[in-house]
Structure 1
Amino acid sequence: MSKLEVIVLNEEDAKVAEASGADRLELVSAIHEGGLTPDLHVIEKVLRTVSIPVQIMIRLHSKSFSYQSDELQTMAEQIRTIVEMGGQGIVFGALSHEGKLDSHALKEIVQNAKGQSITFHRAIDLSHDPVALCKGIFHSGLNVDRILTSGGKSEVSKGLDTIGEMREIEQMGGPIIMPGSGLTVENIGEIHSKLKAREYHVGSGVRHNGCYDLGIDSEKVMEIKRVIMS
Structure 2
Amino acid sequence: MVMLEVIVQNRQEAVEAEKLGADRVELVSAIQEGGLTPSFGTLKQVLGSVSIPVQVMIRPHSYDFHYTAEDMEVVREDVQAVLDLGGNGIVFGALNRDYTVNEQALTDIINMAIGLDITFHRAFDEADSQEKAYRTLAKYKLDVKRILTSGGENDCVHGKEQLGRLVRLSKQLEGPAIMPGGGLSSENIRNVHQTVGAHEYHFGKAVRINRSFRSGFDQEIIQQVKGTMETGK
**Structure 2 unaligned runs (5+)?**
none
Helix, strand or coil at the partner of 1:220: helix
Q: Does 1:138 align with 2:138?
A: yes
Is the 8 Å Cα contact of residues 131 and 165 (structure 1) preserved in structure 2?
Answer: no
- After superposition, the C-alpha distances for 1:47-98 in whole angstroms (9 at most, x for unaligned) are 1111100000000000110101121122111111211101120000000111
Range 192-201 or range 148-157, more displaced: 192-201
What amino acid sits opposite 2:20 in the alignment?
S
Is the 8 Å Cα contact of residues 131 and 162 (structure 1) preserved in structure 2?
Answer: no
CA RMSD of superposed structures (Å):
1.2
Across the two proteins, how many residue pairs are aligned to each other? 230
TM-score with structure 2 length normalisation?
A: 0.95
Is the 8 Å Cα contact of residues 163 and 179 (structure 1) preserved in structure 2?
Answer: yes
State the alpha-carbon separation in 2 of the partners of residues 11 and 22 from structure 1: 14
Helix, strand or coil at the partner of 2:60: coil
State the alpha-carbon separation in 2 of the partners of residues 217 and 83 from structure 1: 32
**Structure 1 unaligned runs (5+)?**
none
Indicate the residue corresponding to 1:217 in structure 2. Answer: 218
Indicate the residue corresponding to 1:148 in structure 2. Answer: 148
Is the 8 Å Cα contact of residues 28 and 56 (structure 1) preserved in structure 2?
Answer: yes
- Identify which of structures 1 and 2 has the higher relative contact order when contacts are C-alpha pairs closer than 8 Å and 6+ apart: 1
Indicate the residue corresponding to 2:75 in structure 1. Answer: 75
State the alpha-carbon separation in 1 of the partners of residues 115 and 212 from structure 2: 34
Indicate the residue corresponding to 2:21 in structure 1. Answer: 21
State the alpha-carbon separation in 2 of the partners of residues 142 and 58 from structure 1: 19
What amino acid sits opposite 1:165 in the alignment?
R
Indicate the residue corresponding to 1:189 in structure 2. Answer: 190
Is the 8 Å Cα contact of residues 110 and 142 (structure 1) preserved in structure 2?
Answer: no
- After superposition, the C-alpha distances for 1:95-115 in whole angstroms (9 at most, x for unaligned) are 011111111111111212431
State the alpha-carbon separation in 2 of the partners of residues 73 and 196 from structure 1: 38
Indicate the residue corresponding to 1:64 in structure 2. Answer: 64
Range 4-13 or range 138-147, more displaced: 138-147
- The runs of at least 4 aligned residues of structure 1 exceeding 4 Å deviation read none
Is the 8 Å Cα contact of residues 100 and 133 (structure 2) preserved in structure 1?
Answer: yes
Range 107-116 or range 29-38, more displaced: 107-116
Is the 8 Å Cα contact of residues 17 and 221 (structure 1) preserved in structure 2?
Answer: no
State the alpha-carbon separation in 2 of the partners of residues 141 and 20 from structure 1: 30
State the alpha-carbon separation in 2 of the partners of residues 57 and 113 from structure 1: 17
Is the 8 Å Cα contact of residues 161 and 195 (structure 2) preserved in structure 1?
Answer: no
Range 176-185 or range 220-229, more displaced: 220-229
Residues 141, 21 of structure 1: alpha-carbon distance in 2 compared, 3 angstrom cutoff: closer
State the alpha-carbon separation in 2 of the partners of residues 183 and 224 from structure 1: 10
State the alpha-carbon separation in 2 of the partners of residues 64 and 15 from structure 1: 31
Range 60-69 or range 130-139, more displaced: 130-139
State the alpha-carbon separation in 2 of the partners of residues 161 and 189 from structure 1: 14
Indicate the residue corresponding to 1:37 in structure 2. Answer: 37
